[in-house]
Amino acid sequence: MSRSVESYIRLARIPVAVVLLGLLVSGCGVNNIPTFQEQAKAKWSDVQNQYQRRADLIPNLVETVKGYAAQERTVLEEVTNARARATQMQIPADIVNNPEAFKKFQEAQTQLSGALGRLLAVSERYPDLKSNQNFLALQSQLEGTENRIAVARRDYIDAVRVYNTELRTFPGVIWASTIYRSDKPMETFTVAEDVKRPPQVKF
């Protein structure tokens, strides 16, 4: 066989080898880290959207309670201030990779949840408020939003668990230490179970 034919055969094998190598690499989970990361980021956006939905409901709820229980000034102010802290907080773009910022966000939302629980408990002392249709509608919307927050938070926690696990296990740990060295583990919620439960009012 001539030298030129041998060279041609060797050159012809290169594209085949490249394709096979590409299939092998893709089959080894090289795309898992960015895929799982994007999924976790999407779930984080859902969490933020639900918290914003709750924040949007609070002013109307406060005004309705104020109309029937203006003397509950301390509780009303507490909710208003907690909402202000939660909504005015500057959220950095890297919050899911920033333990300190994530902790502050979590604490602000936890304080707001506690204040809301106390506001809703006020209605027990005011029968007219408990039967007010506007209050009932707002309370129902808030309860539904709290449930959505719980679901969104759970989905985010699951997505982060998958992503963080991929960074630490084979073969993801190889890609994390080579191709994706700038990708860091994401933060997750650590609040106690009793705080995670949405505030409830028993009628």
pLDDT given for residue 193 in this prediction: 44
Which residue carries 């208003």 as its tokens? 80
pLDDT given for residue 20 in this prediction: 44
Q: Residue 106 pLDDT > 60, yes or no?
A: yes
Name the band, by pLDDT with cuts 50, 70 and 90, for residue 29: confident
Per residue in 134-170, pLDDT (tens digit) is: 999 999 999 999 999 999 999 999 999 999 999 999 9
Q: Residue 202 pLDDT > 50, yes or no?
A: no
Q: Residue 21 pLDDT > 80, yes or no?
A: no
Per residue in 57-69, pLDDT (tens digit) is: 999 999 999 999 9
Contacts of 12 (CB under 8 A, 6+ apart): none
pLDDT given for residue 9 in this prediction: 56
Higher-confidence position of 203 and 59: 59
pLDDT given for residue 121 in this prediction: 93
With contact defined as beta carbons under 8 Å apart, do 149 and 52 qualify? no
Count Cβ neighbours within 10 Å for each residue of 157-195 and write b for 16 or more, e otherwise.
Answer: bebbeebbebbeeeebeebbeeebeebeebbbbeeeeee
